[in-house]
Amino acid sequence: MTGTANAAELKSRSLVGVIGPDWRDFLQGLLSQDVETLRPGELRFGALLTPQGKLLFDLFILGRDDGCWLDVAADRRDALIQRLTIYKLRAKVEIAAVDASVWALWGGDASGWAADPRLSALGWRGYSAQTAAANIAGEAAYDAMRLALGVPDPARDCPSETTYPIEANFDLLNGIDFQKGCFVGQETTSRMKRRGAIKTRMLPIDFEGAAPVFGAEILAGTLRAGEVHSGSGGRAMALLRLDRIEGASLTVDDRAVTVATPAYFDAKLNA
């Protein structure tokens, strides 16, 4: 590692191991991300969806020699194991919790860490305390950096089975492989992308004072334009109606808010 970086243990995340000779075929038909070409040490971002195409679990998939590790919200790990076990049937795979910590590192150059596949500015993820020559920061510092970049945290911003992955910008953050073929929820996801029928997106908003409560209504005049999700320090993620925010004066709790469209959003949509 060169330069000074910040590192934080992400205690809100935990790991599930999927190993065995059938692990690729097993996950390939389930997840929104391709695992057929995943190499040991490589990290990819994806999701397990409902059959209707709503988000169940956001996942980082770390390739390993004998299978992969799934990096998932800690309070959802048991539910993920249960769901994968239901899908297992006769597949030759073992699914179990992994006792290792999840770390994020950002603000410097790193070796021996896996690049965050969503956005290069998010840095790297690691699965042991490889923190020499890094400033140890709390998870709140990592969340502040993520919010500054305008990247949703699905575990915080997407209550289970209520949000489509494209609404949470998975298509803009390398979370969906549209070329891989069938996966659970693929039909709805592909149709939304193909038809451009995306009416709502997660975008950051800026405001004065404390963050509004989760679910607080955002208004464009008298019209509902969206709702606030996770936030702190003058910024929050919000699920917004795209057709109601263009040039509108937005308020929440009688306070003015402004949409801070992140660079990756415009770059990917206009590519």
Helix (H, G, I), strand (E, B) or coil at 119: coil
Final residue before a domain boundary, out of 127, 157, 187: 157
Please report the pLDDT score of residue 168 as a whole number.
96
Which range (11-15, 31-35, 114-118, 194-198) has the least confidence? 194-198
Residue 244 has pLDDT above 80, yes or no: yes
Residue 109 has pLDDT above 80, yes or no: no
Domain identity same for 97 and 11: yes
Looking up tokens 């949470």 gives 168
Categorize the per-residue pLDDT at 132 as very low, low, confident or very high, splitting at 50, 70 and 90.
low
Categorize the per-residue pLDDT at 110 as very low, low, confident or very high, splitting at 50, 70 and 90.
confident
Question: Domain containing 120: what range?
Answer: 5-157
How far apart are alpha carbons 195 and 29 in whole angstroms? 23
How far apart are alpha carbons 75 and 236 in whole angstroms? 22
How far apart are alpha carbons 242 and 202 in whole angstroms? 10
- Rounded mean pLDDT, 76-85: 97
- Considering the domain boundaries, does residue 27 fall inside one? yes
Please report the pLDDT score of residue 129 as a whole number.
62
- Considering the domain boundaries, does residue 174 fall inside one? no
Domain identity same for 252 and 121: no
- Considering the domain boundaries, does residue 13 fall inside one? yes
Residue 1 has pLDDT above 70, yes or no: no
Number of Cα atoms under 13 Å in the Cβ half of residue 214: 6
Q: Residue 74 phi/psi, 5° resolution? A: -60, -40
Residue 100 has pLDDT above 70, yes or no: yes
Residue 101 has pLDDT above 50, yes or no: yes
Number of domains in the chain: 2
Looking up tokens 């998870």 gives 139
What radius of gyration, in Å, describes the C-alpha atoms of the chain?
Answer: 19
Which tens digit of pLDDT belongs to each residue from 143-169? Answer: 999 999 999 999 999 888 899 999 999
| Percentage of residues in the chain having pLDDT higher than 70 | 95
Please report the pLDDT score of residue 271 as a whole number.
53
Please report the pLDDT score of residue 249 as a whole number.
95
- Considering the domain boundaries, does residue 29 fall inside one? yes
Quick check: 110 and 4 in contact, CB under 8 A?
no
- Considering the domain boundaries, does residue 150 fall inside one? yes
- Considering the domain boundaries, does residue 244 fall inside one? yes
- Considering the domain boundaries, does residue 50 fall inside one? yes
Please report the pLDDT score of residue 196 as a whole number.
74
- Considering the domain boundaries, does residue 230 fall inside one? yes
CATH number at residue 9: 3.30.1360.120
Domain identity same for 124 and 204: no
Domain identity same for 141 and 248: no
| Percentage of residues in the chain having pLDDT higher than 90 | 82
Which tens digit of pLDDT belongs to each residue from 168-218? Answer: 999 999 999 999 989 999 999 999 888 876 889 999 999 999 999 999 999
Strands laid side by side in the 67-73 sheet: 43-49, 55-64, 67-73, 13-19, 94-98
Q: Residue 16 phi/psi, 5° resolution? A: -125, 130
Domain identity same for 139 and 34: yes
Final residue before a domain boundary, out of 128, 157, 186: 157
Please report the pLDDT score of residue 243 as a whole number.
92
Quick check: 168 and 253 in contact, CB under 8 A?
no
